[in-house]
A and B are shown apart, each in its own frame.
With several copies, the nearest count.
Chain A
Amino acid sequence: MELKFILESLLFSAQKPLSVKELRDVFTAAAEAEDADATAKSLAKVKDSELTAALEQLAREHETAARSYRLACVAGAWQFVSQPEYAPWLKALVGQKIRPPRLSQPALETLAIIAYRQPITRAEVEQIRGVNVDAVMQTIMERGLVEAVGRAEVVGRPPTYGTTALFLEYFGLRGLEDLPAADELRRIAVQKPPAPVTVEPGLATTPPEQLALGSAEVEVKKEELPEQPATGG
């Protein structure tokens, strides 16, 4: 097995340009693998000069082959790059990138509640939305918009959630204080949901919608209000 082909396969599969040092590290790691064969072991201590010579040979071969890509060394790192004349089609390819599916309305609502009320437990989100949010929480967490940020100081110490930096980027916000109409949603008082252990058997049969309606009394506590709504004005 020729060194240059191993290098070629590495550069062809790599997601970023690789320096000679990074390539050398790959050979060392491959030689140390449990199932390393004789070839892998023989290349454990390949020299930088050998690597450079093989890379240069490879670059010449690809230059001669005159295909739509070539091997380039930029700032000491090697990478296969496409030839510039194919840019019109590559631009069209990039433009066609499939967008991630839109966030559903339930996902947006859940996101909004978390954004305004963080840190917040899952149970509290459910109290406000009035429905189970397991699936929706999973979606927005997978999309990297929400993450666990700590634990609530209540029975069971459930995790609390907050929005991520990606959330801010996504919506073009400088910070959470940029969220529009923040005061009002922050003000809605939500009764702490009962800890699972203390749930009465009778409560379990109550439809979730009703549960939420009953408990979600809007108790506006004066001292929590940073600003009065326009009502007074």
Chain B
Amino acid sequence: MPEYKVQFEVFEGPLDLLLYLIKKEEVDIYQVNLTKLATQFIEYIDLMRQFDLEIAGEFLVMASTLMYIKSRELLPVDQQVAVEGEEEGEDPRWELIRQLVEYKKFKDAATQLQSLEARQENVFPRLPGKLEFESTAPPPKPDVSIFDLLNAVNNVLRRFEKRDDAREIFEDKWTVSEKVEFILKVIAERGSVRFADLFESAASRSEVVCTFLALLELIRLKQLICAQGAEFGQIEIRRAENAAPAPGTPVSDPAPGDVAPEPVLNQAPETSGAAEPPRQS
């Protein structure tokens, strides 16, 4: 008796229990004696009751189907045909067998999936180390630059200003034009400059913004390029190779074919929505 209790708990449903009963009989599903199967099934249900096990509704539905099949079989053959408009294809016996065969196939398929699952646990993909090419172009730049970070800082600052209109935190003494000249002067002297160095001496937000806008403008006008040697390296700013020579006076001496920089400098840069225009009238 106790073995039954164990069995009940592993049956997924009535079809599972029926397959178990058929397997115990060691017969093919097609050959199974449905009357005998019905009797055994109902015995199990009854046992489940005796053990106070909760019986799922599906088991009761199956029990009723089996009872119906069984009761039909007990009728003399000549009376069997007259069951309320039942067509040949709807014979509950065929329906049950079809259901069992179908369920059995999926149960077998589930077993195969299970072995695939276990197999995959033991399959290790080749995970080679990263390839390195020494003489190749620099790897992709980081997806975010200090421009973005600066912009984020400015956004935060701007919100703070809005919160406290009374506080006028700066008074501009810088213009973008001045910063353009400053940057070009530095580049002319040193050949190149690190991005961070440009901001080293900045004392206020407005100065940072002006320097930043000036830089964006010069990049946009293809006077300068930003380069990053190593993936996480310093951003280096240097003169663009094909830039028109503009020693000291770039504002009044635009490169041929380029947009005249002077009026542009007083507008918001188009290259990037990154920064707001300088706060000067």
* A35-55 near B? 1/0 per residue, CB < 8 Å: 000000000000000000000
Q: Are A181 and B173 in contact (CB under 8 A)?
A: no
* A1-40 near B? 1/0 per residue, CB < 8 Å: 0000000010011111100000000000000000000000
A103 interface residue, CB < 8 Å from B?
yes
B54 interface residue, CB < 8 Å from A?
yes
Q: Give Cα distance in the complex from A225 to B57, angstroms.
A: 6
> Chain B at the A interface: mostly helix, strand, loop or mixed?
helix
Select from chain A the residue with minimum beta-carbon distance to B9.
A232
Specify which of B140, B156, B232 is in contact with A113 (CB 8 Å cutoff).
B156
Interface size on A, as a range, is 35 or more
Residues of B within 8 A of A171 (CB): 113, 116-117, 120, 144-146, 149
Of B32-40, B245-253, B261-269, the one touching chain A: B32-40
Q: Are B101 and A231 in contact (CB under 8 A)?
A: no
Q: Are A233 and B173 in contact (CB under 8 A)?
A: yes
B242 interface residue, CB < 8 Å from A?
no
* A210-233 near B? 1/0 per residue, CB < 8 Å: 110111111110100111111111
Q: Are A180 and B202 in contact (CB under 8 A)?
A: yes
Which A residues from 30 to 88 make CB contacts under 8 A with B? 69, 72, 79-87
Whole-angstrom distance between the Cβ of A14 and the nearest chain B Cβ: 8
Q: Are B199 and A180 in contact (CB under 8 A)?
A: yes
A154 interface residue, CB < 8 Å from B?
no
Give A residues with C-beta under 8 Å from B.
9, 12-17, 69, 72, 79-87, 90-91, 93-95, 97, 99-103, 105-106, 108-109, 111-113, 115-116, 128-132, 166, 169-174, 178-181, 183-185, 188, 190, 192-193, 196-200, 203-204, 206, 208, 210-211, 213-220, 222, 225-233
